[in-house]
Chains A and B, each alone.
Chain A
Amino acid sequence: AQSVTQLGSHVSVSEGALVLLRCNYSSSVPPYLFWYVQYPNQGLQLLLKYTSAATLVKGINGFEAEFKKSETSFHLTKPSAHMSDAAEYFCAVSFSGGYNKLIFGAGTRLAVHP
């Protein structure tokens, strides 16, 4: 069965610092992987996705993630944090049974302080 583990429910960084949000997955088949962002009082918005093409995926707002099969990881990074990046971030993996179903991680809340 698929699962997603996000290490760290809360991450705090200084403005301008590197952002690193960790995601590890398990899947019996080649997965599709996603990062979604949720700003306060809003729905989830797709940040980026890996669908078996390039292993380094670039998304919106300067975020990127690297698919590492050997480590079963899909960590999200951004070189320099902005105050506007404060939000909750969800990693998700495709369900091997199809049906366009996604398995979501528990989420990581990112705080950015001046």
Chain B
Amino acid sequence: DAGVIQSPRHEVTEMGQEVTLRCKPISGHDYLFWYRQTMMRGLELLIYFNNNVPIDDSGMPEDRFSAKMPNASFSTLKIQPSEPRDSAVYFCASSLALTRSYEQYFGPGTRLTVT
């Protein structure tokens, strides 16, 4: 399996622009998680989906952030408008409930820089 795929790997954008991060989970996995990692705040869970349905978005910092999962093989995290404080590494992870092991598989991350 190719693992969790994220694109782009690096994104540099100007303040006020819209940013879309993409994630393809491992085939067959029914959970998808979006995390943000910064030096100051560490690893934060933003939102997660089960069978394409958002379960908990309480970690989304504000209304500028939105996430969708239109099908089992694709999810997006959008920031509109972006701000410099959104600069971070964003990770996507997926897992399979059937195993009951809670193990999550992480993608390589997208490093976002907002200038």
A residues lining the B interface (CB < 8 Å): 32, 34, 36, 41-46, 49, 51, 90, 94-95, 99-102, 104, 106-107
Complex-state Cα separation, A34 to B105, whole angstroms:
12
Q: Is B43's beta carbon under 8 Å from chain A?
A: yes
Instruction: Assess the A100–B106 pair: CB atoms within 8 A.
Output: no
Instruction: Assess the A46–B48 pair: CB atoms within 8 A.
Output: no
Given A34, A41, A90, A99, which contacts B56 in the complex, CB threshold below 8 Å? Answer: A99
| Set of chain B residues within 8 Å of A104, measured between Cβ atoms | 42-43, 45
Contact-residue bracket for chain B: 20 to 34
Complex-state Cα separation, A34 to B43, whole angstroms:
15
| Set of chain A residues within 8 Å of B12, measured between Cβ atoms | none
A98 to chain B, nearest CB (A): 9
Knowing that A99-B48, A100-B102, A101-B33 touch, tell me 12 more A-B residue pairs with CB under 8 angstroms.
Answer: A32-B101, A34-B102, A34-B103, A43-B4, A44-B43, A49-B103, A51-B101, A51-B102, A90-B43, A99-B50, A99-B56, A100-B104
Instruction: Assess the B106–A44 pair: CB atoms within 8 A.
Output: yes
Instruction: Assess the A102–B102 pair: CB atoms within 8 A.
Output: yes
Given A41, A43, A99, which contacts B91 in the complex, CB threshold below 8 Å? Answer: A43
| Set of chain B residues within 8 Å of A51, measured between Cβ atoms | 101-102
| Set of chain A residues within 8 Å of B95, measured between Cβ atoms | 100
Q: Is B34's beta carbon under 8 Å from chain A?
A: no
Complex-state Cα separation, A42 to B101, whole angstroms:
23
Query: Within B65-115, which residues are at the interface with A (CB < 8 Å)?
Result: 91, 93, 95-97, 101-109, 111
Complex-state Cα separation, A107 to B106, whole angstroms:
16
| Set of chain B residues within 8 Å of A43, measured between Cβ atoms | 4, 91, 106-109
Query: Which partner residue on chain B sits nearest A42 by CB separation?
Result: B108
| Set of chain B residues within 8 Å of A95, measured between Cβ atoms | 102
